[in-house]
Amino acid sequence: MSILLKGGIVVSAHGRRQVDVRIDGEKIVEVSTNLKAEDSTIEDVSGCFLLPGFIDAHTHLELNNGKGSMSTADNFYTGSKAAVAKGTTAVIDMATPSKGSSLKDCLATWNQLASGNSSCDYTYHMSIIEWNPSIKKEIKEMIEDGITSFKMYMAYDNLRTTDAEIFEAMREIRKYQGMLGIHCENGDLVNEMIAKFVAEGKLSPHYHPLTRPDSVEAEAVERYLMIAKLADLPVNIVHLSTKRALEAVKRARSRKQKVYVETCPQYLVLDDHLYDGPDFEGAKYVCSPPLRSINDQHALWDGIMDGQVNTISTDHCSFNFEGQKTTGKDDFSKIPNGMPGVETRPELIYTYGVTTGKISLERMVALLSEDIAKQFSLYPQKGIIQAGSDADIVIWDPKKTGVISAATQLQNVDYTPYDGMQTRGQAKSVYLRGQKVAESGRVILEKQGKFVFRNITPIDE
């Protein structure tokens, strides 16, 4: 039985048209004006925008990095439900191996976490946390298994590799035209700054951002882009948060480098005064990179408006305030890093970006869906409403208003960094590969998510 979505306005990164959309099975089969009902069930979507399902290219839905570390409050089941309820139909989660284990084992672990539990479609960026001949060999194997993107770290002692290792990994990834994203912060400097403040007895959350100033990010971005230039690899920068780092990107682009920049809602709507909240509230905002100044926030919005910033994902990594964040009560460096956000991205960007006139709805579609799909080899299966694509469709009601609240959220965590914020625009219903899975912010059909196999064409060398 096919479905005919009638009377809505279909939006892509390049424009909008009042057209009807026919879905048959998992696919969109027709997009045109005045389609006849034939044997389709008609769904009246007039007054709404039809947006391609949002893709979150940066989540840690379920994370537990080795001995003694904490597991995230969300897992694949709860995180993916929160995602799809508000319009995110696919996530690219960060698959992170433990030291000494193979990428293949990590992939198997992540498949086990997601398979049968996820309410949105999913794939992963494979993290490379150490470099040796067997990991090198596995790059090709990952790509053959449909994992075309990788993640590396310049900070966190348990995750980071050396510049030489980053360079070698880039050379290997380049052979297969894979995509690499890096967490850019100078890990040595972060360690020094933490040690300094701790030695001085400066232990409140106020000091967290001071251990990771903009120079720590900008230096790492500059160095990473220099290494990428040597390796001749187009690269992605995840969660870019500062004006100075964005200036490093502009310099790289002026020397003709291909660079992709991701930022996150927390750097666009929150700022670093929140670390000074009463009753240890600042701990709720401890993430890395940290929240930044208003000046940085403005620079990021400018980057979004002029195209220097390519995508917005969330870096969703949720820890409860009580019992998890509070373990750092006497020492900010022990507060687990990360914030929830997979649920709130569409409403925040619509409210703070589109309704303020900063960006068009078309630009929002590019930032949250189409350009992510293109960058990570999901396009045109995902990221666009056209015949042949997966029927991942968000029926967006621009008139709906709401208030973000920890009490009503679906994320399985005891707070939200956006508590009390008023929003405009909301997913009225959400289709995942042709099935209506969410309505009015509630999931009506869960665990329908599937692994998305990605393909890239190898380049000739």
- Please tell me whether residue 121 binds Zn ion under the rule CB under 5 A: no
Q: Which residue lies nearer to Zn ion by CB, 9 or 82?
A: 82
**Window contacting Zn ion (CB under 5 A); options: 119-127, 209-217, 308-316, 322-330:** 308-316
Q: Which residue lies nearer to Zn ion by CB, 165 or 315?
A: 315
Give the residue closest to Zn ion by C-beta: 315
Minimum distance from residue 395 beta carbon to Zn ion (Å): 30
**Window contacting Zn ion (CB under 5 A); options: 6-14, 158-166, 307-315, 445-453:** 307-315
Q: Which residue lies nearer to Zn ion by CB, 11 or 237?
A: 237
- Please tell me whether residue 217 binds Zn ion under the rule CB under 5 A: no
- Please tell me whether residue 74 binds Zn ion under the rule CB under 5 A: no
Q: Which residue lies nearer to Zn ion by CB, 65 or 78?
A: 65
Minimum distance from residue 94 beta carbon to Zn ion (Å): 6
**Window contacting Zn ion (CB under 5 A); options: 64-72, 240-248, 311-319, 371-379:** 311-319
- Please tell me whether residue 62 binds Zn ion under the rule CB under 5 A: no
Q: Which residue lies nearer to Zn ion by CB, 174 or 316?
A: 316
Minimum distance from residue 237 beta carbon to Zn ion (Å): 12
Q: Which residue lies nearer to Zn ion by CB, 155 or 274?
A: 155
- Please tell me whether residue 315 binds Zn ion under the rule CB under 5 A: yes
Minimum distance from residue 156 beta carbon to Zn ion (Å): 10
Q: Which residue lies nearer to Zn ion by CB, 178 or 181?
A: 181
Q: Which two tokens stand for residue 176?
A: 């297969």
Note the residues at the interface with Zn ion (CB under 5 A).
Answer: 315
